[in-house]
Structure 1
Amino acid sequence: MQAICSGVLAYLLVLLFFGRKEMKAERLQKRMAAINSGGSDSLNEESTDVSFFDRILKPFVNRIIVGISKLIPKTPKNLQKINARLRLAGIHMKDSEYQAMVILVTLSCGALGGFYGLWMGQPPKQIILFVLYGILAGYILNRFKLESAITRRKEAMASQLPELLDLLSVSMEAGLGFDQAVQYVTKNNEGPLAEELAVALREMTLGKSRKDALRSLAQRCEVEEVKTFVGVVVQADEYGFSLKDILRAQADTVRMAHKQEVKEKSMKIPIKILFPLVLFIFPALFIVLLGPSVLSIMKMFTEI
């Protein structure tokens, strides 16, 4: 258990040094905004405000990750699978760099577990066991972090879909075409689904057909509601139906399904609350209520 805790600590430390790739994009946007608004003075002021972590530690860890990524054997099938998972999680990293980060975190957890065993003065067999525990903890935490990010992003896309469908329908009723409506919606909205729609719009701009771009969108998102939306739009486009009416009906259907899902989750809450109540709250409550009575009874029996 101590080795697992050490592995968790090592994982958090490495993540602290590595951060996320999105921070680099945000920093670049801030620099561009500074150039547009304040010129070189604001840029120099920003460069002096960069922390030691961003200037030295984070680039150092990034260079280590890039170096490890060059040593990893690459197979097209494996890289394609990792790319799909990273894209689904919204993590903007190369597949090889992500593999290198996983290896670095896992080895760091194992090393920290070994150091902990040495610090505790354990025998060699126990130290090896601590190392294995740390490696296992690092791998599990990496996998859990990725799957959690995928789940959160899917839920965000499913919850954002009804609003975007309403905006698409209203935009088309105002006289815009489908592509122009998608452009308007993606320009004025943020979120994972808006980002994926922007990618699909960019693909259509580069010459990809609407049907293929939307099907690629459904394949990237892996959300049933989005797949249904894409199927309806593609079918309406093929048969020449009015998209604005179909989008309005689709928005109502998706919203109703989302409400039912939320209601289902809310009905499960009392059952989920029951376990912490039984395990933690009821014992403490019994101690507070019955404790004085039990002590009085024990005192009475000892006096007899």
Structure 2
Amino acid sequence: MVVAVVALVAGLALLANEAVRHVRQRRVESRVIDRALQLPSTSGTTDAETEHEEHGWQVVVRWLDLLGKRFERSRLGQALITPEDRMLLGQINRNTGEGRAVFLGLRLALAMAVPLPVLLWQAPSGFRAFVVFIGAAAFGLIAPKFALSAWAQRLRKRADSELPLLIDLLRLLQGVGFSVDQSLQMVADRFQEAMPLLSREVGDANALYLRGRSRMQSLHRLCEFDNDGLKTLVQILVQVHEHGGAVQEPLRQFGDRLREQRKLRMKEQSGKLSVKMTVVMMLTLIPALMVVLAGPAVISLIASMTKLQGH
């Protein structure tokens, strides 16, 4: 166990030393470039302010980015960044080179850092130490993926809950004479409080469209949420944008069908909930009911047996 702990500490120290060296080198290079490009009015910026801006979580993110890029092209990195991970990163809008590198670096860092406190706390020996080390490393490797899945699932639920309002707003804006582009721009600009997630995604899609992307390419982010309603809405908007025509009636029919599907889903969930509540009632209500109903009879029986024993 001592050998494993020493090897682990040595590996972490080497990685940390190399990461800090690279971070400092990049920081010096960025300072030189900034000093060469900065205006005379901003030349009074001190190094202390730059140091203050790069403290905290930014240094951690840089270190994770460096660690992930070091192993991203290796077989280990390709095995840890699966197509499912790319899909989940896309759902949280982090499927970029930096996002994948930070995710990979976080998995590798936790896989190396978690076993050390576990070994010091458990203090196993022999083969049990090896098993604890492997288990702790596996937990550190899998935990970021579970957190990523939970984050993506939460965003999918938010997108699904905001979808009916988005459809109603688009239909309303179409009814007052707005085009598809104007409607999407209005949703991104004016309804950020009502639809925080979808309004931000629509705003990003509008920005991509203004940069030269096609309407289908700009709205592709909405299809990454793995929501059939959003995919159908994107298809409707793309068809109307390419071929023209009125979109108000298709949106009304789509909204009605979506509400019917939600009603059926709610009925299904309520039916499952009643079955689950039956088990809860059997475990909690029936014992209390038996105590209330059978309690007086048991008490009287005990009193009668006490009297018989006294005689």
Matched, 1:85 2:84: no
1:69 maps to what in 2? 68
> What CA distance in whole angstroms lies between the structure 2 residues aligned with 1:274 and 1:128?
45
Candidates 171, 174, 179, aligned match of 1:172: 174
Q: 1:235 to 1:59 in 2, by over 3 A?
A: closer
1:185 maps to what in 2? 187
Q: Write the deviation string for residues 273-293 of structure 1: whole angstroms up to 9, x where unpaired.
A: 4455566x4797599778996
Q: 1:146 to 1:278 in 2, by over 3 A?
A: farther
* CA shift for structure 1 position 255: 2.4
> What CA distance in whole angstroms lies between the structure 2 residues aligned with 1:241 and 1:91?
35
Matched, 1:217 2:182: no
* CA shift for structure 1 position 141: 2.8
Percent pairwise identity: 21
* CA shift for structure 1 position 108: 2.4
> What CA distance in whole angstroms lies between the structure 1 residues aligned with 2:71 and 2:135?
23
Q: Write the deviation string for residues 104-156 of structure 1: whole angstroms up to 9, x where unpaired.
A: 223222222212222xxx32322222222222333343222221222221121
> What CA distance in whole angstroms lies between the structure 1 residues aligned with 2:278 and 2:134?
36
Q: 1:164 to 1:276 in 2, by over 3 A?
A: same
Q: 1:205 to 1:130 in 2, by over 3 A?
A: same
Paired amino acid for 1:109:
V
Please say if residues 68 and 104 of structure 2, whose CA atoms lie closer than 8 Å, have aligned partners that are also in contact. Answer: yes
Please say if residues 90 and 150 of structure 1, whose CA atoms lie closer than 8 Å, have aligned partners that are also in contact. Answer: no
Q: 1:179 to 1:267 in 2, by over 3 A?
A: same
Which sections of structure 2, spanning at least 5 residues, go unmatched?
1-48
Please say if residues 92 and 152 of structure 2, whose CA atoms lie closer than 8 Å, have aligned partners that are also in contact. Answer: yes
The total of aligned residue pairs comes to 244
Which sections of structure 1, spanning at least 5 residues, go unmatched?
1-46
Matched, 1:260 2:259: no
Q: 1:106 to 1:249 in 2, by over 3 A?
A: same
> What CA distance in whole angstroms lies between the structure 2 residues aligned with 1:273 and 1:108?
43
- Helix, strand or coil for the counterpart of 1:207? coil
TM-score, normalised with respect to structure 2: 0.65
TM-score, normalised with respect to structure 1: 0.66
Q: Which has the higher contact order (CA 8 A, sep 6+)?
A: 1
> What CA distance in whole angstroms lies between the structure 1 residues aligned with 2:107 and 2:93?
17
Q: 1:224 to 1:72 in 2, by over 3 A?
A: same
- Helix, strand or coil for the counterpart of 2:133? helix
* CA shift for structure 1 position 177: 1.1
> What CA distance in whole angstroms lies between the structure 1 residues aligned with 2:136 and 2:233?
44
Candidates 98, 107, 112, aligned match of 2:112: 107
* CA shift for structure 1 position 226: 0.7
- Helix, strand or coil for the counterpart of 2:273? helix
Deviates more, 1:163-172 or 1:204-213: 204-213
Paired amino acid for 2:239:
Q
